[in-house]
């Protein structure tokens, strides 16, 4: 997969995406990541990317011309153009899976008060948010999305089973995990996990995942018909 990023702070991307699984995916050629400086698509002496909002108000906006020029230079017919902004659809595992099936993504990182509305109207296929809080710019959101998408690319994880057997992929939280020692500071690993009874262990894990989800994230459970789904399911515990 090819991912282009358009940003005012390309240096932020060095580091987080140069380590571990993402770096490995890049070296394997699974991810072709290219980070572009938006200022390179300006033509004036000061490399101006922002301007005051028409109608007044605080802050500055990213002006349309450099973004249009960059997207026209970087995107092809098959590129999915995504704007990172708090007003977008909230990113989740299911959207990560959807994006992992694309050939090319172009992520536009908003800065300042945001972007001229014509960018949304004419260029952007999708607006995504990583959550309801205000960041200084869209760079961290872009990195979050690149990380979540890249690890889903076939071959990115050493053990492909680990991409499937984890939180959210079954719509539930993960069951509790333990490793050695079997007893640590008086805290014991549940007996069943030491038993070698694989069918019983699988049953225990499924039950733990269900309980844990019910307790901590009832919003993840499928809605039952009628009434308050979360409260109802908590009662069924
Ligand atoms: C987010 C977010 C964000 C909002 C961009 C203030 C600069 C900033 N982007 N998910 N202006 N949360 N963006 O906070 O995507």
- CATH label of the domain that carries residue 9: 3.40.1280.10
Q: What spacing in Å lies between the alpha carbon of 89 and ligand 1's midpoint?
A: 12
Indicate whether 71 and 139 sit together in one domain: yes
Indicate whether 64 and 94 sit together in one domain: yes
Cα–Cα distance measured from residue 15 to residue 186, given in angstroms and rounded to the nearest whole number: 40
Q: Is residue 21 part of a domain?
A: yes
What's the confidence (pLDDT) of residue 79?
98
Q: Is residue 88 part of a domain?
A: yes
What's the confidence (pLDDT) of residue 163?
65
What's the confidence (pLDDT) of residue 170?
79
What's the confidence (pLDDT) of residue 226?
52
| pLDDT band, residue 91 (cuts 50/70/90) | very high
CA-proximal residue: ligand 1, atom 2 (nearest): 86
Q: Is residue 158 part of a domain?
A: no
Indicate whether 83 and 175 sit together in one domain: no
What's the confidence (pLDDT) of residue 225?
58
Q: Is residue 141 part of a domain?
A: yes
Indicate whether 169 and 142 sit together in one domain: no
For a mutational test of ligand 1's pocket, the pick from 129, 145, 146, 148, i.e. the residue with the most ligand atoms closer than 8 A to its C-beta, is 129
Please determine, for residue 202, whether its predicted confidence score (pLDDT) is greater than 80: yes
| Mean local confidence (pLDDT), 120-149 | 98
Indicate whether 113 and 171 sit together in one domain: no
Least confident range from 88-97, 144-153, 169-178: namely 169-178
Between 28 and 167, name the one with better pLDDT. Answer: 28
Of ligand 1's listed atoms, the one at least distance from the Cα of 135 is 14
Between 235 and 32, name the one with better pLDDT. Answer: 32
Tally of CA atoms within 13 A in the half-sphere of 237 that contains its CB: 13
Indicate whether 188 and 212 sit together in one domain: yes
**Number of separate domains in the chain:** 2
For a mutational test of ligand 1's pocket, the pick from 6, 53, 84, 113, i.e. the residue with the most ligand atoms closer than 8 A to its C-beta, is 84
Indicate whether 193 and 121 sit together in one domain: no
DSSP secondary structure, 53-97, as one string: PTT--SS-EE-HHHHHHHHHHH--TTEEEEEEEEEEEEP-HHHHH
Of ligand 1's listed atoms, the one at least distance from the Cα of 109 is 5
Cα–Cα distance measured from residue 127 to residue 81, given in angstroms and rounded to the nearest whole number: 9
Indicate whether 128 and 180 sit together in one domain: no
What's the confidence (pLDDT) of residue 160?
58
Between 32 and 232, name the one with better pLDDT. Answer: 32
Q: For residue 199, what is the domain's CATH number?
A: 1.10.1270.20
What's the confidence (pLDDT) of residue 236?
44
Q: Is residue 183 part of a domain?
A: yes
Q: Is residue 176 part of a domain?
A: yes
Q: For residue 40, what is the DSSP state? A: G
Indicate whether 130 and 171 sit together in one domain: no
Q: What is the CB < 6 Å shell around ligand 1?
A: 84-86, 110-111, 114, 129-131, 133-135, 137-138, 141
The residue from 150, 175, 199 where one domain ends is 150
CB contact set of 135 (below 8 Å; sequence gap of 6+): 141
Cα–Cα distance measured from residue 236 to residue 106, given in angstroms and rounded to the nearest whole number: 45
Taking the mean position of all CA atoms in its chain, how far away is CA 85? Answer: 13
Indicate whether 170 and 222 sit together in one domain: yes
Of ligand 1's listed atoms, the one at least distance from the Cα of 130 is 10
Please determine, for residue 157, whether its predicted confidence score (pLDDT) is greater than 90: yes
CB contact set of 16 (below 8 Å; sequence gap of 6+): 22, 143, 147
For a mutational test of ligand 1's pocket, the pick from 138, 140, 143, i.e. the residue with the most ligand atoms closer than 8 A to its C-beta, is 138
The residue from 117, 150, 183 where one domain ends is 150
pLDDT, tens digit (0-9, with 9 covering 90-100), for 36-69: 999 999 999 999 999 999 999 999 999 999 999 9
Q: Which domain holds residue 74?
A: 2-150
User: What pTM did the predictor assign?
Assistant: 0.92
Indicate whether 72 and 139 sit together in one domain: yes
Indicate whether 105 and 29 sit together in one domain: yes
Q: What spacing in Å lies between the alpha carbon of 62 and ligand 1's midpoint?
A: 13
Q: Is residue 139 part of a domain?
A: yes
What's the confidence (pLDDT) of residue 231?
52
| Mean local confidence (pLDDT), 220-234 | 62
Q: What spacing in Å lies between the alpha carbon of 23 and ligand 1's midpoint?
A: 25
Q: Is residue 160 part of a domain?
A: no
């Amino acid at each position: 997969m090819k991912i282009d990023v358009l940003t005012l702070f390309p240096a932020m991307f060095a580091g987080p995406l140069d380590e571990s699984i993402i770096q490995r995916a890049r070296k394997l050629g699974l991810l072709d990541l290219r980070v572009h400086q938006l200022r390179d698509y300006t033509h004036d002496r000061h490399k101006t990317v922002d301007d005051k909002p028409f109608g007044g108000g605080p802050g500055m906006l990213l002006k349309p011309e450099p973004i249009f020029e960059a997207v026209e230079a970087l995107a092809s017919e098959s590129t999915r153009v995504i704007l990172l902004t708090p007003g977008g659809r909230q990113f989740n595992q299911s959207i990560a899976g959807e994006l992992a099936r694309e050939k090319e993504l172009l992520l536009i990182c908003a800065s300042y008060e945001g972007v001229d509305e014509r960018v949304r109207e004419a260029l952007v296929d999708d607006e995504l948010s990583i959550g309801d809080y205000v960041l200084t710019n869209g760079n961290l959101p872009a990195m979050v999305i690149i990380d979540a998408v890249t690890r889903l690319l076939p071959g990115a994880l050493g053990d492909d089973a680990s991409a499937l057997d984890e939180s959210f992929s079954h719509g539930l939280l993960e069951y509790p995990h333990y490793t050695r020692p079997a007893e640590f500071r008086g805290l014991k690993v549940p007996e069943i996990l030491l038993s070698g009874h694989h069918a019983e262990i699988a049953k225990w894990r499924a039950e733990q995942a269900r309980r844990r989800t019910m307790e901590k994230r009832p919003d993840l459970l499928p809605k039952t018909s009628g009434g308050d789904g979360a409260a109802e399911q908590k009662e069924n515990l």
